[in-house]
Structure 1
Amino acid sequence: MNKGFITILTLLFSFLSAQKGPYYQQQAKYKMDIDVDAKNFTYNGNQTLTYTNNSPDELNVVYFHLYWNAFKPGSMMDQRVARQGKNGDSRLQKDGISRLASIPKEEEGAQNIHWIKQNGKDLKFEVQETVMKVYLDSPIKPNTSTKFTMEWDAVIPMQIRRAGRNNSEGVDMTVTQWYPKIAEYDYDGWATFDYVGREFHAPFSDFEVNIKIDKDYVIGAGGTLENPSEVKGYDPKASLKADKNNKVTWKWTAKNMLDFAWAADRDYTVESFVVLDGPKVYFVYQKSEKTKYWSESKPYVTKFFQIMNATYGRYVYPSYSFIQGGDGGMEYGMCTMILGEAKSVDGLVGLMVHEGGHSWNQQIMAYNESVRPWMDEGFTSYYDDSIMYQLFPPKTPKANPFTATLDRYRNFVKRGIEEPAGWLGDHHDNGTAYSFASYYKGELFLVQLGYIIGEQNLALVMKEFYNQWHLKHPTDRDFMHIAQKISGMDLKWFHHYWINTTKTIDYAIKDIKYGEFATTVTLENKGSIPMPIDFSILTTDKKVVNYQIPLNMTHTWKQKDIYGDFKTEAYWPWTQKEYTLTIPYNKSQISALGIDFSQRLADVNLEDNLVEVK
């Protein structure tokens, strides 16, 4: 056997062995006892964590996230904000100066680990700001479980981003990403991203959380309250059972979620209503004239859950809470923290729809947002625009629900600061570029996919993706596998161009020659992303005739689309800059002709896409 053949076999074996094996996911069960000192914004915590290693790997260390350690001067978050200046997250800085730099010492966030044990034996650990590395007493072998116990105390930080004390609307405590949370371990290894401002990832977990706090407080949380008759706000017949320190214990449980979040305030009102064939919804907020739109939002929120259940897959948890707290809107397991004040009911509902939509993406589908923020933020934005279009139909009809997003994308591209959607969430250099990469490019990924494969196929893809991958941790590769199978198309080229580059789409009508019985149109690809093209004419008797020009890389064409029936032309090779199309209509029969009458194509220059025939 010659050396060259041996080398080929070795490389082939290495490639095959690097492929992803059978799917697995880790599992955790938390039991926490929390004692809150509301006056000083601190708490003491004890935690028992049962961790199951379903991977094929033996684990010798584990990692925990300690997110609140970021909220202090000199932290990595502070350094990141200072370096980005006005190009960073506006919520973390003022006039380009990091807000974290001026946090008073007594209001710095802290999670102080007293000790951690594995099956009763003390463990060595290292705290690397927001990440804690723990050296195990005994390895966790595949398909076995181990039990960690730990004790810690924490300081609820000054409210800067998402969590914290005394937010701008006067909510006492927003307690999110607040406990030592074990990191996710999967095929890519430990997800140990430092917390410098963006998103979160974790294994699916069960929670039993007992929170002891002054009896005058009301808690809103993402979970099931097991003792509503013993605490304030949820049961009008409740009999508070306060201890000698005037505290009561709130008992919460939750199953198969990524995290557990809560907020506490003495002025909270709790309202609830049940969505038919959906969850029980809780509103936990400070009821006042400033929050008057919360009551008006209830029928819209009901419709939101019904549309999501019918269109994208069922909400799997028993309840969902909208809680006034945080700094705008942030999603967690079975709840969201949002600001309470709104200028209009549609403004409030828009926020609720977006944050509620995250329950499907961040929680139920559970992407790794630190790696793929465009899937969570983008897919959620897609739901958002689609559903708001149904809840609040525009006074002036639009071609589709996504026209405003397309226009914003086109205007942003002109600024020349775009960054690829495939970058890690925390590693974008510009805050606005991150927003467009994750929210806008992520949303338009689905809009362009619908344009390519047809809207009916896209709907099937979204449903099947949910059916196969909900309550797991899918990646974009899993999504594309389903999209290609349902459409019958090769779509890898599209994913690469749209997610991994900042190249743009720009097609144009270059030339028109009118004949006695037919018209010849020359189209030009002036951009850097090839696409299939929908070309249409409006006849003088007000009929629309559609032509589909497939891209050769798809190797087939869309079979149907809600935007019309299409006559299929010959393939347009992606290497070819021009394409000639002959249509059996003369000038007197044509009122207008153009590229993409549906206005879904993310063409960055629309001026040369339509011609009115006079």
Structure 2
Amino acid sequence: EGVALSMTQWYPKLAEYDDEGWHADPYIAREFHGVWGDFDVKLTIDKDYVVGGTGYQQGEPKVADNKKTIHFKAPRVHDFTWAADPDFVHDTFQIENGPLLHFYYKKDLEQQYLDNWKKLQPDTAKLMAYFSENVGTYPYEQYSVIQGGDGGMEYAMCTLITGQRSYGSLLGVTAHELAHTWFQFLLATNEAKHEWMDEGFTSYISALAMNELREEKRENPLAGSYRGYIGLANSGVEQPLTTHADRYVYNQAYGAAAYSKGAVFIAQLGYVIGEENLKKTIKKYFDDFAFKHPKPMDVIRTAERITDLELDWYLMDFGQTTNTIDYGIKTVDGKSITLERIGLMPMPIDLSVTYTDGTSEDFYIPLQMMRGEKPTDATIIKDWAWAMPTYTFDVTKTVKSVTIDPSKLMADVKDDNNSFTVE
């Protein structure tokens, strides 16, 4: 789009060393697992260039001849990015009791795109407020949305995105890249090993934010992620989420795993432990692991501390294998209902039963290995042990119909057998 300089992955970067050793992955157009630090950077550039990026500018630039030197400091980050162009417009938007937002975009854009960049500014403030409230407070003094790069990519205190977009696209990409500030830059997972934790969790929280900001009122804002994952699971090319980001056979399989299955992982965890417990888990996870390099088990252990449930099975089956969830209604005989587990992955079951007299009742079947139940208003009945392929229980009235998981928050890969009506 004609931006002069988009300077990302532009300097020799230290490899992270942790309990697994050195993470010196070669760069093949993804990201590095970076080291936390305080950056002190001086850029010398033609004096007519407008520069934005990571960090805080220290005073006015020093100008000599046709050059200027700009001094930036960026505390507690693991990357430094900048972009520059002589034709950048530079707008700012101050969030009340929050950071100063910066917007850099080309002044020669068509008027419709210029209008979009103006419209974006208050909406970015709303997105920032949503993420701060629902994950954790944004800790820096500024954030910059910069036209540049080749699509949309997240960096410390900034994002580079292409600017010639419809407003819906511009806002959606900004929401996703801004959300990465929490799920990658503050909760700095190793993107090479656990790409689904940053892309998936980002997709999850940005979908919720967009649903609220645009007042879409979708019953399940993650429905697209569920479709993406289920399509992958039924495609025959799925690889487990433990696959290194650079080792997928098909790029499409990488995308569906990292973005869709990763989003379903956290959304479906809400089905397992309850939505309010999930909200508490996300905030506790941020409080405990911001400015660190969390791993998958850290999410699970956080959820266990919140709920007193045993959840390692969930990470093992959904995150470390390609086992799938597939439950069905096997038989309905008067007042007796038999369910079957067809897929290898076990789950607790939400069930809705309608009786022939027109009344209905919700049931909750705990998964025995969880050692407990999520909060629910449904009637809690006996546990289902994971090794048992079928489960039978009786109700007090004659059954008309049965539905497994009315919320559709359980990622059942073949849901055509999840409903049954007695003829």
Superposed pair shares fold, TM > 0.5: yes
Aligned-partner Cα distance in 1 for 2:309–2:272: 9
For 1:611, the equivalent position in structure 2 comes to 420
String of CA shifts for 1:155-201, please: whole Å, max 9, x gaps: xxxxxxxxxxxxxx111111011112222121222210111232221
User: After the TM superposition, which residues 224-239 of structure 1 pair with which residues of structure 2 at under 5 Å, given as runs?
Assistant: 224-227=56-59, 229-230=60-61
Residue 423 of structure 1: CA displacement? 1.1
Tell me the matched-pair count: 420
What's the CA shift for 1:541? 8.7
Give the corresponding residue for 2:148: 325
Q: Match for residue 479 of structure 1?
A: 299
SS of the equivalent of 1:270 reads strand
- How far has the Cα of 1:538 moved from its partner? 4.7
Residue deviations 1:404-463, cap 9 Å, x none?
211222223222111111111112221111112211111111112111111111111111
| One-letter identity of the residue aligned with 1:580 | T
The one-letter amino acid paired with 2:403 is G
CA contact 1:399–1:599 (8 Å) conserved in 2: no
What is the aligned partner in structure 2 of residue 495 from structure 1?
315
1:382 partner SS = helix
Tell me how far 1:264 sits from its aligned partner: 0.9
Aligned to 1:205: 37
2:419 corresponds to which letter in structure 1?
L
> Which position in structure 2 is the counterpart of 1:264?
84
Q: CA deviation at 1:544?
A: 5.4
Letter in 2 for 1:465: Y
Contact 2:148 2:160 in 1 (8 A): yes
Q: CA deviation at 1:499?
A: 1.1
Write the mapping of 1:165-180 to structure 2, written as runs, cut at 5 A: 169-180=1-12
> Superposition pairs for residues 238-277 of structure 1, below 5 Å?
242-244=63-65, 246-277=66-97
RMSD: 1.7
Structure-1 residue corresponding to 2:370: 554
Q: Aligned residue for 1:362? A: 184
> Which of the residues 476, 488, 505 maps onto 2:325?
505
Aligned to 1:372: 194
1:539–1:407 Cα change, 3 Å: farther
Q: CA deviation at 1:478?
A: 1.8
Alignment correspondent of 1:454 = 274
Give deviations 1:482-504, integer Å, cap 9, x for gaps.
11122211111110111111111
User: Displacement, 1:291?
Assistant: 4.0
The list of structure 1 runs, each at least 4 consecutive aligned residues, that deviate by more than 4 angstroms after superposition, is 538-544
CA distance in structure 1 between the partners assigned to 2:114 and 2:357 by the alignment: 52
Would you say the 8 A contact 1:197–1:426 is kept in 2?
Answer: no
Which of 315, 327, 334 is the equivalent residue of 2:157? 334
Matched, 1:382 2:204: yes
Match of 2:406 in 1: 597
Report if the CA contact (8 A) 2:326-2:412 is conserved. yes
Name stretches of at least 5 consecutive residues in structure 2 with no aligned partner: none
Return the offset for 1:479. Answer: 1.8
Where does structure 1 lack aligned partners over 5 or more consecutive residues? 1-168, 231-240
8 A contact 1:277–1:306 mirrored in 2: no
Provide TM-score, normalisation by structure 1.
Answer: 0.66
Question: Residue 291 of structure 1 contacts residue 342 of structure 1 at CA under 8 Å; is this kept in 2?
Answer: no
Give the number of the structure whose alpha-carbon radius of gyration is greater. Answer: 1
Give the aligned partner of residue 346 of structure 1. 168
Matches within 5 A, 1:405-444: 405-444=225-264
Offset, 1:319: 0.6
Q: Are the equivalent residues in 2 in contact too, given 1:212–1:249 (CA < 8 A)?
A: yes
One-letter identity of the residue aligned with 2:64: D
Report the alpha carbon displacement of residue 208 of structure 1 after superposing the two structures with TM.
1.4
For residues 56-95 of structure 1, give each alpha carbon's deviation from its aligned partner in whole angstroms, at most 9, with x where no partner exists: xxxxxxxxxxxxxxxxxxxxxxxxxxxxxxxxxxxxxxxx
Contact persistence 1:365–1:473 (CA under 8 A): yes
* 1:531 and 2:340 are equivalent in the alignment: no
Checking the alignment, whether the CA contact within 8 Å between 2:225 and 2:259 is kept in structure 1 is no
Name the amino acid aligned to 2:351: F
Give the whole-Å Cα distance in 2 for the aligned partners of 1:504 and 1:585: 33
Which residue does the alignment assign to 1:57? none
Cα distance in structure 2, aligned partners of 1:443 and 1:543: 35
Q: Take 1:307 and 1:578, find their aligned partners in 2: how far apart are those partners?
A: 43
Which string of whole-angstrom CA distances, capped at 9 and with x for unpartnered residues, describes residues 550-609 of structure 1? 11111111124xxxx12111111111111112222324xx5x430011110100111111
Is the CA contact 1:202–1:258 (under 8 Å) kept in the aligned structure 2?
A: yes
Cα distance, 1:278 vs structure 2 = 2.3
1:576 aligns with 2:388: yes
Which residues in structure 2 correspond to 1:35-434 (within 5 Å)? 169-227=1-59, 229-230=60-61, 242-244=63-65, 246-287=66-107, 288=109, 289=111, 290-343=113-166, 345-394=167-216, 398-434=218-254
**Deviation per CA, 1:76-128, whole angstroms, max 9, x where unpaired?**
xxxxxxxxxxxxxxxxxxxxxxxxxxxxxxxxxxxxxxxxxxxxxxxxxxxxx
State percent identity of aligned pairs: 39
Question: SS at the partner of 1:425?
Answer: coil
- Distance (Å, rounded) in 1 between the aligned partners of 2:124 and 2:73: 24
SS at structure 1 position matched to 2:416:
coil
Query: Using the alignment, how far apart are the partners of 2:42 and 2:418 within structure 1?
Result: 61
Distance 1:170 1:418, change over 3 A: same
